[in-house]
A and B are shown apart, each in its own frame.
Chain A
């Protein structure tokens, strides 16, 4: 039984509880876990879809669809590769492209013979995914509100760099440099971590 209270507390324990819920759905179709996920994610998903331009009822429609996919695909969730929030973000993003954006977002196919597998990955990128994700979150928490707002606008309101510049009343070059800076900080954090281990 997962009480809603358990989903409060510090970031890491929330993330762990959410991942546990998906795992229980995969193993035993546990509806109580699904309800806990729903209470946490449905209001955020609706908020995400509305930021992409959907009205409330369309956003609720797609939120339901996203939650059904969480249930249906729970056995594809791999907590060593992504957090619950990241996995559900990718589901929501893909649905939003079909529902609102009138375009297609093809993906690579790991079973394609031409696909180059991860075995040839450079050693500095072989950090455990879950750990990488924690580092990314740490850096995001440390960004200035200005840097964060630029990333938020490109993610959640689907704005181009030009539109972000207009919205924030700052030059296009500043938008680009803030994005570059935010990425540089993330990269540095990942590399520093790797350096400590060597």
Chain B
């Protein structure tokens, strides 16, 4: 299936510049693992970094620095050859680097029930403003209608997620901001698993959902 919804220029720029926080970096890197198109864009943005390094004014460097670096590199032993991993034929649904963060593939995880038909895995990223979590919606389940206090990024990994007039499949990205109010639901065929990164707690519309919010931790 070809990916239709890609990373925004803003996210690519932030990933390349190194200015995103860890949860957003994790989402970008996981999309890049699935999307050759965005990897090519990412390489173009990295080359902006090279261009700008060339055009920076030079800061004076003490004479002694070169000799101290030369001393260090003369002590370098041959770099160890990285062990070649035997090619695995395993069919993972969760790509790296995300799989290492959550500790395994879809079926290895201890999913925590958040609500009827909705499970999650919280992803621990210390010192981050935003929160990453893996969400699993049973097919046909809808998320309570909600708005956002900040940005929400979603990367679909299995199944499909219908959001207003678009349907997202594996690899697709949805980016919403504080202006968005929506009620996405999982497609009918299989469970939808997605990685969600939220900048600020969601703002649920109904009183019932708002009451539950502290319990779900979202």
**Chain A residues with a Cβ under 8 A of chain B:** 11, 31, 34-35, 38-39, 41-48, 50-51, 56, 59-60, 63-64, 67-68, 71-73, 75, 81-90, 92-94, 96-97, 101-109, 111-122, 125, 129, 132-133, 136-137, 140, 151-152, 154-156, 158-161, 176, 179-180, 183, 186, 190
Contact = CB atoms under 8 A, between A and B. Distances in A.
B46 interface: yes
B57 A47 contact: yes
Interface residues of B, number: 69
B95 A59 contact: no
A152 B89 CA distance: 43
A73 B73 CA distance: 12
B43 A132 contact: yes
A159 B113 CA distance: 38
Contacts of B128: 103
B207 interface: no
A132 B54 contact: no
5 contacts: A44-B59, A64-B72, A93-B18, A152-B52, A183-B9
State the main secondary structure of chain B at its contact with A. helix
Interface of B: 9-10, 13-22, 25-26, 29-30, 32-37, 39-40, 43-44, 46-54, 56-62, 65-66, 68-70, 72-73, 76, 79, 85, 87-97, 99, 101, 125, 127-128, 171
B127 A108 contact: no
A19 B61 CA distance: 22
B65 to A, nearest CB: 6
A106 B66 contact: no
Nearest to B19: A158
Contacts of A121: 36-37, 40
A48 B89 CA distance: 43
Contacts of A132: 40, 43-44, 47
A137 B47 contact: yes
Given A93-B49, A114-B95, A118-B39, 5 more contacts: A35-B70, A42-B66, A83-B47, A92-B53, A104-B125
Q: Which of A42, A63, A179 has the most CB of B within 10 A?
A: A42
B47 to A, nearest CB: 4
Q: Which of A43, A81, A106, A113 has the most CB of B within 10 A?
A: A106
B156 to A, nearest CB: 14
Given A71-B73, A103-B25, A125-B37, A43 B18 contact: no
A9 to B, nearest CB: 13
Q: Which of B10, B16, B48, B56 has the most CB of A within 10 A?
A: B48
Given A35-B66, A64-B72, A88 B29 contact: no
Contacts of A41: 53
B54 A38 contact: no
Given A34-B73, A113-B88, A158-B18, A42 B61 contact: yes
Contacts of A102: 127
A155 B33 contact: no
Nearest to B84: A111
A123 to B, nearest CB: 11
A85 B53 contact: yes
Contacts of B69: 38, 64, 67-68
A192 to B, nearest CB: 14
A115 B147 CA distance: 33
A113 B90 contact: yes
B38 to A, nearest CB: 10
A125 B51 contact: no
A73 B79 CA distance: 8
Contacts of A31: 70, 73
